[in-house]
DNA sequence: CGGGAAGTTGAAGCCAGTCAAGATTTGTGG
DNA sequence: CCACAAATCTTGACTGGCTTCAACTTCCCG
């Protein structure tokens, strides 16, 4: 049974901006159902023009591009609250693929209703653009990391960022959070080989900064980690939820 | 004397979508003037919240992030028609800096009027989101390149992309286009050292694929270049102009 | 329990970074 | 318009971080 937007468990979290009753009702009309997928299921394919758009309610996934030679670049990890399919909605074509890494529950929206935001609800349209701008911002950071930082720095950066995102969602306990990805996923996100990723993680373990095993990420010294990763620890500001 | 939007020289180019007379008039109100800057002038700084937004009318520039350790990542090159400051307009803060590499002329828009697009002109608001989505798309490509491709592949990719963009703007003659950047700029865009960038360019020269000197980029074999760079040569589709 | 996926570790090689020095172009003041 | 300085480009030699190859271990799940 699909949850009503009024009762959305995500909306309560302090990370997300308040939404008026009217807007919630507006979203309710837009929502056509929920999708439950198993781990390792493709959700959207690069180049596709999906009739449906999603918001991640529960579970984790990743966005990636696969080159014709088989190499894969992971662009980002998908957390609850993330909007999926903006490029399909706006450009008519996804520039990357999205897949579920764990089991996931997704809110499903009808793409044909997309235009209504712009026509009838400028605030929500603005929020949508806001999300696109943030995504651009994050990709810029990732590009700078992959382009300029060493393997140790990049790994520290990535781990710090994941931890911060999880923390903002209230998913951290005892400096530990669920991070059910493969080492290969992180390697592909940072442009490193799997072997070197493994050795770099070992180094962070030996330095007593962070350890990641059995899908659990534990942070021992966030400040030191942030320092190595050249990242500032400013609390992420509130963001709109779609 | 500032050009009126009605007479905008860019708008005539086939790359850009048609705009209704009403919309052009709408833009006209939004435009507050023109800015002429010299080469090597900063236009927007990372972290700043500029009251003004721009569209490049003439000249070339680049977007970049500078890390605290001094390393620089070039995110993209700015061509005529590019909108500058979307992040400032939407997020209230730029995630990267923008600077002029040649002398540039920029249309200046008032940021405080920004919200009016969403309120009064949903088509233009949609176009804005479109631009943000395309930017995200391009950054994804760049990330995949820097993360997964060798120096030769990455360089071929970058050169091909620049050439395609210039071509779409009608800036190519005799398979040659103006590309008045430094080798360091391209190196910083691809995460390579200057020395290796230089040697890679020499290799492309020796292979008789492309040569770049005196700010002029000449392409001998675009197909081969695109093949090495793993990029497809589909004509870029029309895009909205702001 | 057996087999496959994921993680771990060592050894060898190479792509790209760093260092260094000279050539060429660009900019500037007299 | 020349002369000198600064920036950019170029090339060679050396170094090293990361990749590749290969084998072994551990963890699951049927």
Give residue-wise pLDDT tens across range A123-153.
999 999 999 999 999 999 999 999 999 999 9
Compute the mean pLDDT over every residue in chain B, rounded to the nearest whole number: 95
User: Contact at 8 Å (CB) between B85 and B52?
Assistant: yes
Q: Which nucleotides of C are covered by protein (CB under 7 A)?
A: 6-11, 15-20, 25-26
Average pLDDT over residues B215-219: 97
Residues B32-42, mean pLDDT to the nearest whole number: 95
* Distance in Å, alpha carbon of B231 to nearest chain A alpha carbon: 9
Inter-chain contact A75–B140, Cβ cutoff 8 Å?
yes
Mind listing the pLDDT tens digit for each residue in A212-226? 999 999 999 999 999
Q: Is the pLDDT of residue A69 over 80?
A: yes
Question: With helix as H, strand as E and coil as C, how does B112-176 read?
Answer: HHHHHHHHHCHHHHHHHHHHHHHHHHHHHHHHHHHHHCCHHHHHHHHHHHHHHHHHHCCCCECCE
Q: Please name every residue paired with B212 in a beta bridge, in sequence order, or none if there are none.
A: B217
Span B137-166, average pLDDT: 98
Least confident of A1-5, B143-147, B220-224: A1-5
pLDDT in tens, A48-62: 999 999 999 999 999
Question: Per residue in B165-178, pLDDT tens?
Answer: 999 999 999 999 99
**B68-80 mean pLDDT:** 95
pLDDT band at A237 (very low <50, low <70, confident <90, very high): confident
Model-level pTM? 0.95
Interchain pair B65, A144: CB under 8 A:
yes
**Percent helix, percent strand, percent coil in chain B, to nearest 5:** 40, 25, 35
| For residues A58-80, average pLDDT | 96
What is the arithmetic mean of pLDDT over A193-216? 97
Which positions in chain B touch A95 (Cβ < 8 Å)? 136-137, 140-141
Distance from the Cα of residue B238 to its chain's centroid? 15
Given a cut of 90, whether residue A1 has pLDDT beyond it is: no
A167 touches chain B (CB under 8 A): no
Mean pLDDT over B72-76 rounds to: 98
Q: Is A46 an 8 Å CB contact of chain B? A: no
Of chain A, the end-to-end C-alpha distance in Å amounts to 20
Residue A88 in contact with residue A50, Cβ under 8 Å? yes
For residue B236, pLDDT beyond 90 = no
The residue of chain B nearest to residue A144, with distances taken between CA atoms, is: B73
Instruction: Please report the pLDDT score of residue A131 as a whole number.
Output: 96
């Amino acid at each position: 049974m699909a949850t009503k937007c009024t009762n959305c468990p995500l909306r309560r979290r302090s990370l997300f901006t308040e939404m008026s009753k009217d807007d919630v009702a507006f979203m309710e009309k837009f929502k056509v159902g929920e999708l439950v997928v198993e781990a390792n299921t493709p959700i959207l394919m690069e180049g596709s023009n999906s009739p449906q758009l999603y918001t991640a309610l529960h579970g984790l996934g990743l966005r990636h591009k696969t080159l014709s030679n088989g190499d894969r670049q992971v662009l980002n990890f998908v957390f609850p609250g993330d909007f999926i399919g903006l490029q399909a909605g706006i450009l008519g074509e996804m520039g990357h693929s999205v897949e579920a890494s764990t089991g996931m529950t997704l809110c499903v929206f009808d793409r044909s209703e997309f235009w209504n935001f712009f026509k009838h609800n400028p605030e929500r349209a603005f929020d949508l653009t806001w999300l696109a701008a943030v995504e651009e911002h994050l990709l810029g950071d990732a590009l700078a990391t992959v382009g300029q930082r060493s393997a140790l720095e990049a790994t520290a950066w990535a781990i710090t960022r994941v931890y911060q995102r999880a923390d903002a969602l209230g998913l951290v306990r005892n400096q530990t959070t669920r991070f059910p990805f493969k080492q290969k996923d992180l390697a592909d996100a940072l442009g490193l080989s799997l072997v070197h990723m493994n050795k770099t993680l070992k180094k962070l373990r030996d330095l007593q900064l962070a350890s990641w095993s059995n899908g659990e990420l534990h942070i021992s010294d966030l400040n030191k980690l942030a320092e190595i990763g050249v990242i500032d620890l400013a609390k992420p500001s509130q963001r709109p939820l779609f």
